[in-house]
Structure 1
Amino acid sequence: MGCALRDGAGCATYFAMVSSTTSAVRAGGYLTGNLLIAMPGMQDPRFDHSVVCLCAHSAEGAMGLVVNRPLAGMAFDDLLRQLSIEPVPPQRRLRMLSGGPVESGRGFVLHSDDWATEGSLPVMPGLTLTASLDILKAVATGGGPREGVLALGYAGWAPGQLEDEIQRNAWLNVPADASLVFREDTGGTWEAALAKLKVDPALLSGAAGRA
């Protein structure tokens, strides 16, 4: 599996849509910086019981990373070898996630905002998105952000698609926080996100509703 994390300058074109949405006004129902929580009736099996950190949302569409799907088949050390990043073994490691069904070979690091490089994009206070090799080099040598996860692939929505899914009761939403985004027990992230809304999963039904 290839990983398209690139040097900082190479990220500019890819992040054009994300950059425009992060600078957009977060009013009018835009949910950048929220967690999307899949409802039990989610019809797309790829998002069954998923929690997605929405990194960008505007009239142009939406992009997010699933934060509760551990990546199978590749370890952080394997990725560093593939990208020829030293040292291996590294001084630090990032947990690897399957970020979504779109471009599964492309890598993103969602991390605390105490570290940034050229091309890093703020998601919300406390959270930043980076897709350059600089962050992997920093982590491998013991530096980088205090907290972070590396996701391969992402979830994407066309203009109006996410709004339609929310209206059809596919998702609940709640403001993101580090305790959920960087939670190591990913098996309990869905329940923990619902708990933040004071929602009992057993009581969820097909009735429409939003957070």
Structure 2
Amino acid sequence: MDTDLTGKLLIALPGIGDPRFARSVILICAHSPEFAMGIVLNKPMPGLSLPELLTQLDVPVTGDVPDTFVLDGGPVAQDRGFVLHTDDVFNEGATLEIDDDLCMTATRDILHAMASQDAPRRSVMALGYSGWGAGQLEEELAENAWIVSDADPDLVFGPGHERKWRHALARMGIDSGRLQVDPGNC
């Protein structure tokens, strides 16, 4: 597969085989023949909210910070923060444009913006990311571990993490209750 999946969603199928990604919805932030990188959108970190994280990191809060969960973005670099946000905040050299209105920034500047009056219209913070080496994601797609879908701002930024997997499938016309772990034979 030589299609660029940047800005697409990966929706885990029941037979994915890796419990860390069971029922995951992942936004692909970067994709090339050498690697792929994405953020899990539907797995909040237990007991960690954005205001608590900003306090732990000594980021002064001068604006209204929503009391939202910090996401578990994936098993790689869980000591690093990644913020998905709208393009109204852009830091040249630090912000990665994912699509026309969606960006990712992994520097402290975005945390200060999120805590200020100049916050992005919409944003979500994740610790860690999901990563694939050369050909690894393409192999998983060929093994039917994932379904690829267009991104939806409500799936990226919205609440209801426990419903995002079912909602992502339903947007594609797939009833999650009808999915099987092992394909049948006729």
TM over 0.5: yes
1:140 to 89, 107, 115: 115
Is 1:179 aligned to 2:154, yes or no? yes
Deviation at 1:91, TM superposition (A): 2.4
TM-score, normalised relative to structure 2: 0.90
1:114 to 85, 88, 106: 88
Identity of aligned residues (%): 45
2:10 to 25, 36, 58: 36
Equivalent runs, 1:36-185 vs 2, <5 Å: 36-87=10-61, 91-93=64-66, 95-118=69-92, 119-185=94-160
Q: Which amino acid aligns with 2:32?
A: S
Q: Deviations over 1:126-181 (max 9, x none)?
A: 21001111111122123221001000000000100000001011000101121211
Q: Which amino acid aligns with 1:72?
A: P
Runs of 4+ in 1 over 3 A off after TM superposition: 205-208
Task: Name the SS for the 2:44 alignment partner.
Answer: coil
Q: Does structure 1 conserve the Cα–Cα contact (< 8 Å) formed by 2:48 and 2:69?
A: no
TM-score, normalised relative to structure 1: 0.80
Q: Does structure 1 conserve the Cα–Cα contact (< 8 Å) formed by 2:79 and 2:127?
A: yes
Deviates more, 1:198-207 or 1:44-53: 198-207
Give the whole-Å Cα distance in 1 for the aligned partners of 2:40 and 2:152: 14
Deviation at 1:204, TM superposition (A): 2.2
Listed as ranges, the gaps of 5+ residues in structure 2 are none
Task: Name the SS for the 1:72 alignment partner.
Answer: strand
Paired residue for 2:164?
189
Task: Name the SS for the 1:146 alignment partner.
Answer: coil
Q: Does structure 1 conserve the Cα–Cα contact (< 8 Å) formed by 2:25 and 2:42?
A: yes
Listed as ranges, the gaps of 5+ residues in structure 1 are 1-26
Give the whole-Å Cα distance in 2 for the aligned partners of 1:102 and 1:151: 11
> What RMSD in Å do the two structures reach over aligned CA positions?
1.8
Q: Between Structure 1 and Structure 2, how many residues are aligned?
A: 181
Deviation at 1:198, TM superposition (A): 0.7
Normalized per residue, the structure richer in strand is 2
Deviation at 1:207, TM superposition (A): 4.3
Q: Deviations over 1:67-118 (max 9, x none)?
A: 0001113222332223221138x52235410100111110000011222113
